[in-house]
Structures are given as C-alpha cells and as structure tokens.
Amino acid sequence: MYNFLMTKKLILIRHAKSYWGKKGRFFFKGNDHDRPLNTRGKKNAELMSKYFIRNQISIDYIFSSSAKRATETLSYFNKKEITKYGCNTYEELYTFQLSDLIKFIKKIDNKYENIILISHNPGIQDFCFEFVLNKQNNIFFNNLKTKFPTCAAAILLSNTKEWDSIDKKGFNLKDFIIPKSISD
C-alpha cells in the first residue's frame, strides 16, 4: 500500500485581464511588459483574493512575473490573510514558456511548502498539461484543458519534498477556480 504525503502546494494564477489600448489586441503597439489591468481585471483580482481569504486558502510566499499586469494582480493577493512571508517579482516569470516555469520552480527554496506563482499563458496551462497526474475523470482538468482564463487559479498538490524534483513526481489538480464561477 502506498502512502502519499502531499507536501508541496503550488497555486498557478494567470494574471488578471489586461488593457490592450483603445483599438484592442490586434492593433496594440505598446510595450507588452507595461500593460496594466483593465477594469474587469481589477474587479476579478479583487474577487479572487476575497475568495482566497473567505476560503482560508493561504500560502507561504508569492512569486510573480515582473509584467505590470502580473504585479497589479499580485497587489490583490499580497495580504497577510493569504501570504505568510510576502512576495516578490521576478523577470524570469515574464515568460510564456513551460521550460522557463519549470526552471524557475526547481530553484524555489524548499522552506516554502505552499506557494502562489503568478505568470502567463500558455506557460501555466502547458505546465498543467505536462505535470497533472489525475487528468482522468477530473472536472477541474477538463475545465482547465478547455481554457485557462485570466485570473484563474489551479491548485496543485505534490508528494515531493523538494521543488527540484517536480518533474519526477508530478501534481494532483485539487481545484480550478475561475472568477466567473465565484462571482455573484
């Protein structure tokens, strides 16, 4: 009989909805890194952070992309009711690549058992495709597979004791929360 002790919790959050300018995404000519949240993004980030507090979803530390839309999302989650030790932003998390996320996560200090990582798609969705073990008959995975919307959060648990072995252990997807599903 196997006794799997889940020792690491990784919550992947896609930044909230960002502003593309008056003409929209296809006509955007500015600096992608500096795009702020739009009104809906701010509303959803606040909604999700309140959901985390209400449901006592707390973590040790938050790691965020340095992109403005990610750091603005982070500001809603950087509360003492959610994070025990605070947060920081990282240029390496301004990525859309699965390989960059893996590299970053493998370097996280093992003193952090439970973390939030705020980053971008398709990287975070690809991470779930690659490392979620319980895909079969999992409604959360089916929803995530269809779309990983802005400000959505995937809660992943692993039986690893060390972040640098995530590629060997994988994760169980325990929840997938999207702003639309928790709004009034």
Cis peptide before 149 (omega within 30 of 0): no
What is each CA distance from 69 to 34, 45, 171, 176, in whole angstroms? 7, 11, 27, 21
Domain residue spans of the chain: 8-182
Contact call for residues 14 and 123 (beta carbons, < 8 A): no
| pLDDT tens for each residue of 80-104 | 999 999 999 999 999 999 999 999 9
Of 38-42, 85-89, 154-158, 165-169, least confident by mean pLDDT is 165-169
Contact call for residues 127 and 99 (beta carbons, < 8 A): no
Predicted structure pTM score: 0.93
pLDDT of residue 168: 81
Task: Reply yes or no on whether the pLDDT at 5 is more than 60.
Answer: no
State which amino acid sits at residue 117. L
Integer Cα distance of 180 and 97 in angstroms: 26
pLDDT of residue 22: 76
Architecture of domain 8-182: 3-Layer(aba) Sandwich (3.40)
